[in-house]
Amino acid sequence: MKDECRSLMAALSVKVLTVYMFLSVFFLPGVWAECKENSHLHMTAPKKLEALSGSCLIIPCSFKKTPGNGEKFDKSKQIIGVWIKNNTQFVENPNNVIFNSTNQTNIYPMKIIGNLTQTNCTTLFSNLTTKYTERYYFRIEDGYFKVVDRCNFIEINIQDSPQSPSIEIPADLKEKTSVSITCSAPTPCPHSPPELTWNLQADSQRQTETNTDGSFTTKIQKNITLSDTHDGFTINCSARYPVNEGPPKTAETLKTLNVSYAPKDTSVSISPSASVSVGIWVKMTCSSRAKPAVINFIWFRSSKDGDQKVAEGEFYSLNATEGGAYYCVATNDLGNQTSPKIDLIVGGSLKLIIQNFVRVAVILILTCSIFCIWCSRKIQRHQQAKTQQKQPANELDLQSPAIDAVYEL
Ligand SMILES: *[C@@H]1O[C@H](CO)[C@@H](O)[C@H](O)[C@H]1NC(C)=O
Ligand SMILES: *[C@@H]1O[C@H](CO)[C@@H](O)[C@H](O)[C@H]1NC(C)=O
Ligand SMILES: *[C@@H]1O[C@H](CO)[C@@H](O)[C@H](O)[C@H]1NC(C)=O
Ligand SMILES: *[C@@H]1O[C@H](CO)[C@@H](O)[C@H](O)[C@H]1NC(C)=O
Ligand SMILES: *[C@@H]1O[C@H](CO)[C@@H](O)[C@H](O)[C@H]1NC(C)=O
Ligand SMILES: *[C@@H]1O[C@H](CO)[C@@H](O)[C@H](O)[C@H]1NC(C)=O
Ligand SMILES: *[C@@H]1O[C@H](CO)[C@@H](O)[C@H](O)[C@H]1NC(C)=O
Ligand SMILES: *[C@@H]1O[C@H](CO)[C@@H](O)[C@H](O)[C@H]1NC(C)=O
Ligand SMILES: *[C@@H]1O[C@H](CO)[C@@H](O)[C@H](O)[C@H]1NC(C)=O
Ligand SMILES: *[C@@H]1O[C@H](CO)[C@@H](O)[C@H](O)[C@H]1NC(C)=O
Ligand SMILES: CC(=O)N[C@H]1CO[C@H](CO)[C@@H](O)[C@@H]1O
């Protein structure tokens, strides 16, 4: 019984092992085995490439041959470069050969533009459509050396809409510093690079640069000296890619500037008013615009002997006893700003004002009355004199009592 069990177990484990080996040979990726087998050819290219339908794609590519025993290069023949697409399990299925550099016309619109004798397999892939989204393997045929690099393949992804450009802004923006802002767009097809536009005036002309992996990027750049007005500004960069047919395809990216700045527009407001009576409670408020927010407000009172610090904090309340000029200084991490001075005028109390008013009024009334009485008397006398003048001429005499009366006054 025990023996039977043991042999059954042994049989089972052999079967399991066989199945596993079968799987690893035929179904599991088995990449290690393929890579080992084909290490004689090593292709170097970006692992993934994105491209736009209706445009083209440059595949940056180079390779290294390490011939094994019996593999000889035939110098009399030209080196053949072959691209194989991968949509079946066996990459060497002839149906998957979509480009052979000896052919004038190929199944896929590809062209090796690199010099194969200089191990440059750079390829131009034109008239792209989304159906070319595939995995691509490279093969070299040079005399008896005919090898596919199965380890290093390229995933080419062709899409109907372009990738968004990217806006590069240095971190930690501060006012009064000069920064360089760049908008860059991937450029799969440097023959027809995207046109870049943004809501900043570009300093430099559009430039197409080569990246370290051989792919391309188109850029525009602007150097700006930051100020608080740039804070919250949204940069809108758009890339227009020309395509074979129809209008250009566009993609845009927005990025908002986050600029920190020292306090601005610092001012003092006063309540109930800048002109108050003695003994009134006055509240002053210091306001300022700053990023990051103001961490400290300091209040000063100006006087002949210089300015004196009187308080700290956003608000300053005081019992109005005497007037003076006050101001505040707002401070944050980036600096400080002094507000304009505000004059606090302290008058007498209401009671005092009324008393004064009454006193003035009484004096005025008295003066007026005396003057009026004097005036009316004078007019009276004058009229009396006139009446006497109208009497007969014989009575007109310098010693007339009426005239005497006038002189009496
Ligand atoms: C590529 O073309 C050459 C010449 O026509 C041919 O000898 C070779 O077998 C082709 N290679 C592949 C992988 O189709
Ligand atoms: C190369 O040309 C031959 C005939 O001209 C054709 O049968 C073959 O499919 C072509 N190969 C490729 C990869 O286009
Ligand atoms: C390979 O060829 C392409 C196209 O001619 C060229 O732009 C590139 O500089 C070449 N690469 C190297 C490494 O020479
Ligand atoms: C490719 O490179 C080889 C060797 O450097 C040179 O002889 C040949 O003229 C080049 N071919 C082309 C088309 O530039
Ligand atoms: C690409 O397509 C256009 C028409 O759409 C055609 O004129 C041109 O020859 C094609 N180019 C290639 C390389 O196939
Ligand atoms: C912008 O600044 C960078 C360095 O910060 C400098 O290399 C570049 O020449 C400047 N560009 C312009 C147009 O001034
Ligand atoms: C960005 O700019 C483009 C053209 O300059 C414009 O069509 C688009 O509406 C703008 N986008 C936003 C969100 O403002
Ligand atoms: C702006 O930058 C400050 C620090 O510099 C940060 O605290 C704040 O969250 C940022 N605001 C936005 C909207 O990114
Ligand atoms: C202001 O001070 C005066 C005298 O110092 C005092 O009589 C008055 O009550 C105070 N007013 C207030 C509102 O505290
Ligand atoms: C404001 O800043 C200046 C210069 O940085 C400094 O000299 C001054 O003491 C500051 N004032 C206050 C009230 O912090
Ligand atoms: C998409 C596709 O068909 N991929 C295949 C490419 O070839 C390998 C083997 O070389 C397969 O494992 C993949 O399934």
Atom of ligand 5 nearest to the CA of 244: 5
Question: Measured between alpha carbons, how far is 169 from 171 in angstroms, rounded to an integer?
Answer: 6
C-alpha dist (Å) from residue 199 to 23, 202, 222: 58, 9, 11
pLDDT bracket for residue 367 (50, 70, 90) = confident
pLDDT value at position 140? 92
Question: Measured between alpha carbons, how far is 243 from 236 in angstroms, rounded to an integer?
Answer: 22
Question: Measured between alpha carbons, how far is 99 from 57 in angstroms, rounded to an integer?
Answer: 15
- Rounded average pLDDT over 42-69: 93
* Segment 10-19, tens digit of pLDDT: 444 444 444 3
- Whether 65 shows a pLDDT value over 50: the answer reads yes
Q: Which range (150-159, 290-299, 345-354) has the least confidence? A: 345-354
pLDDT value at position 354? 67
- Whether 238 shows a pLDDT value over 60: the answer reads yes
pLDDT value at position 7? 53
Query: Which of 88, 89, 96 to probe ligand 11 with, by most ligand atoms within 8 A of CB?
Result: 89
pLDDT value at position 3? 52
Atom of ligand 9 nearest to the CA of 319: 1
- Whether 167 shows a pLDDT value over 80: the answer reads yes
pLDDT value at position 108? 96
- In the numeric block, which tokens belong to residue 87? 């949509």
CB 246 within 8 A of CB 54: yes
> Residue with structure tokens 């300091």?
298
Atom of ligand 7 nearest to the CA of 199: 5
Residue whose CA is at the smallest distance from ligand 3 atom 11: 120
* Segment 272-303, tens digit of pLDDT: 989 898 989 999 999 999 999 999 999 999 98
Domains of the chain by range and CATH? 31-159 (2.60.40.10), 166-257 (2.60.40.10), 262-348 (2.60.40.10), 355-386+400-408 (no CATH)
Residues having CB within 6 Å of any atom of ligand 3 = 62, 113-114, 120, 122
* Segment 34-54, tens digit of pLDDT: 555 556 899 999 999 999 999
pLDDT bracket for residue 6 (50, 70, 90) = low
Whole-prediction pTM: 0.74
Rank 55-64, 271-280, 317-326 by mean pLDDT and report only the highest: 55-64
- Whether 240 shows a pLDDT value over 80: the answer reads yes
pLDDT value at position 408? 43
CA of 296 from ligand 2 middle (Å) equals 79
- Whether 215 shows a pLDDT value over 90: the answer reads yes
- In the numeric block, which tokens belong to residue 48? 């993934």
Residues having CB within 6 Å of any atom of ligand 9 = 279, 281, 319
For residue 272, cis peptide bond before it (omega within 30 degrees of 0) = yes
- Whether 204 shows a pLDDT value over 70: the answer reads yes
Q: Identify which ligand lies nearest to the alpha carbon of 107.
A: 2
- Whether 182 shows a pLDDT value over 80: the answer reads yes
CA of 263 from ligand 8 middle (Å) equals 16
Average pLDDT over the chain, rounded to whole? Answer: 84
Rank 3-7, 177-181, 279-283 by mean pLDDT and report only the highest: 177-181
Q: Identify which ligand lies nearest to the alpha carbon of 263.
A: 10
- Whether 101 shows a pLDDT value over 70: the answer reads yes
For residues 104 and 94, which has the higher predicted lDDT (pLDDT)? 104
Question: Measured between alpha carbons, how far is 293 from 173 in angstroms, rounded to an integer?
Answer: 15
CA of 267 from ligand 8 middle (Å) equals 25
- Whether 334 shows a pLDDT value over 90: the answer reads yes
- Rounded average pLDDT over 77-101: 81
- Whether 77 shows a pLDDT value over 80: the answer reads no
In Å, the largest CA–CA distance within the chain is 186
Q: Is residue 258 in contact with ligand 8, taking CB distance under 6 Å?
A: yes
Say which amino acid occupies 84. I
- Whether 271 shows a pLDDT value over 50: the answer reads yes
* Segment 121-149, tens digit of pLDDT: 999 999 999 999 999 999 999 888 888 88
Give residue 34's region: left, alpha or beta (phi > 0; psi -120 to 50).
alpha
Residue whose CA is at the smallest distance from ligand 9 atom 8: 279
- Whether 401 shows a pLDDT value over 80: the answer reads no
pLDDT value at position 53? 97
Q: Which range (80-84, 167-171, 348-352) has the least confidence? A: 348-352
Residues having CB within 6 Å of any atom of ligand 11 = 29, 86-87, 89, 91, 135
Rank 85-99, 196-210, 233-247 by mean pLDDT and report only the highest: 233-247
Q: Identify which ligand lies nearest to the alpha carbon of 215.
A: 3
Residue whose CA is at the smallest distance from ligand 10 atom 6: 336
pLDDT value at position 352? 56
